[in-house]
Amino acid sequence: MNENKEFEEVLDATLNETDTCECSGHECGHCECEGEQHDGHEHMSKKKEIEKLKEEIETLKKEVEISKNAYFKAYADTENTKRRLQQDFDSSNKYKLHGFMKEILPIIDNLERALVVNSENEECINYAKGFQMIYTQLFDLLIKEGVSEIEAMGKPFDPNFHQALMAEPIDGVESGKVVEVLQKGYMYKDRIVRPTLVKVSE
């Protein structure tokens, strides 16, 4: 009698657990609502995770864009600096003898003055021949390095290449013409080493 009563109480308790399950967190083998609730929580969790990953991706994209801009700016600055240094080097190398040419021109002037001296003295004539050889060799060397004489005689006066020291009216010559070269002028490549000193007609 007591055994039957105890069995009935256990059965009732089991039925009550099955029928009254409210998904309170305990394990229930016959309830499907707990599984649905678990799936819902899992779905929400994945959605939040996806949103978080999207935000991280956007942040990374912005950081990558900033890094790219910084890289391209640094690259452009480096290229500009390299180009400027190369131009400075080329210019310096191109005109490296400019100062030397300017210093040697007075020597050329003195050799030319020595060569125009007329003398019947054989010793002076021999000296003149030696001066002529030195002058020719030196001037040929200057020409190879890019030195050239500025043309002036009979040309219109050009203040870019000529420096007028004298001016006078001359019959039959139009105004502004170079009528006499007082000192030769020279170019070194495309730069003026020394302008030509001239007399100009008025």
Q: What is the average per-residue pLDDT within 29-44? A: 58
Q: Are residues 135 and 83 in the same domain?
A: no
- Work out the mean pLDDT of the chain and round it to a whole number: 80
Query: Among the three residues 74, 94, 114, which one is the final residue of a domain in this structure?
Result: 94
- 174 or 40, which is more confident? 174
CATH of residue 144's domain is 2.30.22.10
Q: Which two tokens stand for residue 31?
A: 């309830």
d(CA 5, CA 9): 6
Measured at the CA of 90, the angle between CA 107 and CA 102, to 5 degrees, comes to 15
Q: Are residues 141 and 80 in the same domain?
A: no
> For 80-108, how does the pLDDT look when each residue is reduced to its tens digit (9 = 90+)?
888 888 887 777 777 777 888 888 999 99
φ, ψ of residue 195 in degrees (nearest 5): -70, 160
pLDDT at position 9 over 90: no
Per-residue pLDDT at 40: 63
> From the CB of residue 188, how many other CB atoms can be counted at a distance below 10 Å?
21
d(CA 37, CA 200): 109
pLDDT at position 162 over 90: yes
Q: How many domains does the chain have?
A: 2
Among 113-117, 166-170, 180-184, the range scoring the smallest mean pLDDT is: 113-117
Query: Among the three residues 68, 94, 120, which one is the final residue of a domain in this structure?
Result: 94
b/e 84-107 (16+ beta carbons within 10 angstroms → b): eeeeeeeeeeeeebbeebeebbee
d(CA 162, CA 201): 13
Three-state secondary structure call for residue 148:
strand
Per-residue pLDDT at 125: 81
User: Do 146 and 188 touch, CB atoms closer than 8 A?
Assistant: yes
Q: Are residues 167 and 113 in the same domain?
A: yes
Q: Are residues 180 and 123 in the same domain?
A: yes
Query: Among the three residues 77, 94, 111, which one is the final residue of a domain in this structure?
Result: 94
Q: Crossing angle of helices 98-115/122-144, nearest 10°?
A: 150
d(CA 151, CA 127): 29
Domain of 69, in residue numbers: 36-94
- 13 or 134, which is more confident? 134
Q: What is the average per-residue pLDDT within 154-171? A: 93
pLDDT at position 165 over 90: yes
